[in-house]
Chains A and B, each alone.
Chain A
Amino acid sequence: MKTKRCFNYFTIADFEREERWLNGMSRRGWHFVSTNGLVYRFEQGRPGEYVYKIDLPDEGDAAHVADYERFLAECGVEVVAHFKDWVYLRRPASEGPIETSDNTRAQLSLINRASGYTADVLCRLLCVFAALSVVSLIVASLLAADSPVAEFLQGFGVSVAVSAMVALALVFTPVMRRLRRRADHLMREMSIRG
Chain B
Amino acid sequence: MGNTATALTEAVYYILLSLVEPRHGYAIMQHVEAMSRGRLRISAGTMYGALSGLIGKGWIEPLDSDGGRKKEYRITVAGREALGAELERLRELVANGDRLLGGGEIYE
Contact = CB atoms under 8 A, between A and B. Distances in A.
B29 interface: yes
B41 A97 contact: yes
A96 B9 contact: no
A74 B48 contact: no
A71 B40 contact: no
Interface in A71-104: 71-72, 74-77, 89, 96-100, 103
Interface residues of B, number: 22
Range, interface on chain A? 20 to 34
Contacts of B26: 74-76
Contacts of B47: 71, 75
A89 B41 CA distance: 16
B9 A105 contact: yes
B41 A71 contact: no
A76 to B, nearest CB: 7
Interface stretch (A15-23, A24-32, A57-65, A124-132): A57-65
Contacts of B7: 194
B102 interface: no
Contact of A61 (B29, B48, B70): B48
A68 interface: yes
A61 B26 CA distance: 18
B42 to A, nearest CB: 7
15 contacts: A55-B43, A61-B52, A71-B44, A71-B47, A74-B70, A75-B26, A76-B26, A89-B44, A96-B41, A98-B43, A99-B41, A100-B39, A105-B11, A106-B46, A194-B9
